[in-house]
Structure 1
Amino acid sequence: MEGLVLLLLLLLLYFLPTVVAAVRSKRNTAAIFVANLFLGWTVIGWIIALVWSLMYEEPK
Structure 2
Amino acid sequence: MTDSGSDLAWLVIRQDDNGNRYRVGRYATQDEAQRIADSFDDRGHKQTYWVERIGQPAL
TM-score when scaled to structure 1? 0.30
- Relative to total residues, which structure has the larger strand share, 1 or 2? 2
- Higher Rg of the two aligned structures: 1
TM-score when scaled to structure 2? 0.30
- Relative to total residues, which structure has the larger helix share, 1 or 2? 1
